[in-house]
Amino acid sequence: MNYINLTLDHLRSKFAPVETGDRAKFEKLTSQLKGEVARINGQINDFLNYSRPAKADLKPLDARQVVEDSLRLVEAQAQENDIKISVVEHEDVPRVMGDPEVLRSVFNNLFINAVQAMGGEGGRLNVKISPSDGFVRFEVADTGRGISEENISKIFEPYFSTKETGTGLGLAIAQKIVDVHHGTIQVESKVDNGTKFTVRLPKAA
């Protein structure tokens, strides 16, 4: 995949047609190919991440920073689709015990799913961070299409997906990572009434 991606970059920089019409078509086709390579890479990474034993190097982390690091991934797409993002942090939120690189996979997945659930119709992605009895509570709520009652109990199962594309491993990996952090992840949702994921992670000593 890396070789294909690098070759596409080389083609785009060295062999793009001179004529405007041909160049536009060339750019469109090579962009589609790069997008497909990125999709396949994502699927490969999902399989690898799920098959590996989950490990985490736990250390005290700023809870809001954990969220904002992942939000950067979806900010551009959210802006294009008129999705408003808000982050509310309550007072006296302690630091959490976590591995920043590993936790990023959890919140990346939740934010990407939320933005995709709202599509191009606009909406709101609200994140709340608050202390919770020895834990830090992260609520990730969207105003998207929601999840049916029959699917709500299956979404953390490996290979289950309501999307036409994807591996169905994103939320299974998220749960595996949260378990390694000695935390919990739960979901509430209704069709046409949005979805809310709640992640609880132990506070740092």
- Pick the residue with more confidence: 53 or 149? 149
Specify burial of residue 183 (Cβ count, 10 A radius: 0-12, 13-18, 19+): buried
Instruction: Indicate the length of the chain as a whole number.
Output: 205
Q: Report the percentage of the chain scoring pLDDT > 70.
A: 91
Q: How many CB atoms lie within 10 A of CB 140?
A: 23
pLDDT greater than 80 at residue 69: yes
**pTM exceeds cut of 0.85:** no
CB 202 within 8 A of CB 58: no
Give tens-digit pLDDT for 96-133: 999 998 898 899 889 989 999 998 889 999 999 999 99
Q: How many CB atoms lie within 10 A of CB 66?
A: 22
